[in-house]
């Protein structure tokens, strides 16, 4: 519940095949946050940043402000 209190831009990158916590757990949390974006990565599991590193890096590049 405390995650919902984060008032900074937040990106959730979530694997659709996450057997530990499915996307249905994270989506409502992101929806309740003031500045959050939720991205599903099809075919990937709980360690989406390792499984789909290039895709996650692309999402981060698009999400983070340019220097």
Q: Is 64 left (phi over 0), alpha (psi -120 to 50) or beta?
A: beta
The pLDDT, as a whole number, for residue 62 is 95
Write down the pLDDT at residue 67. 77
> What pLDDT sits at residue 40?
97
If the chain, 67 residues long, is cut into consecutive pieces of 10 residues, what is the mean pLDDT of each piece? 88 96 96 94 96 95 89
Number of H helices and E strands in the chain, helices first, is: 3, 2
pTM, two decimals, is 0.87
| Residue 19 token pair | 């057997």
- Nearest 5°: phi and psi at 66? -75, 145
């Amino acid at each position: 519940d405390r995650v919902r209190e984060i008032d900074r831009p937040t990106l959730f990158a979530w694997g659709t095949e996450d057997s530990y916590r499915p996307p249905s757990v994270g989506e409502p949390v992101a929806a309740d946050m003031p500045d959050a974006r939720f991205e599903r990565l099809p075919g990937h599991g709980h360690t989406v940043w390792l499984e789909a590193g290039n895709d996650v890096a692309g999402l981060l590049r698009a999400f983070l402000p340019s220097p």
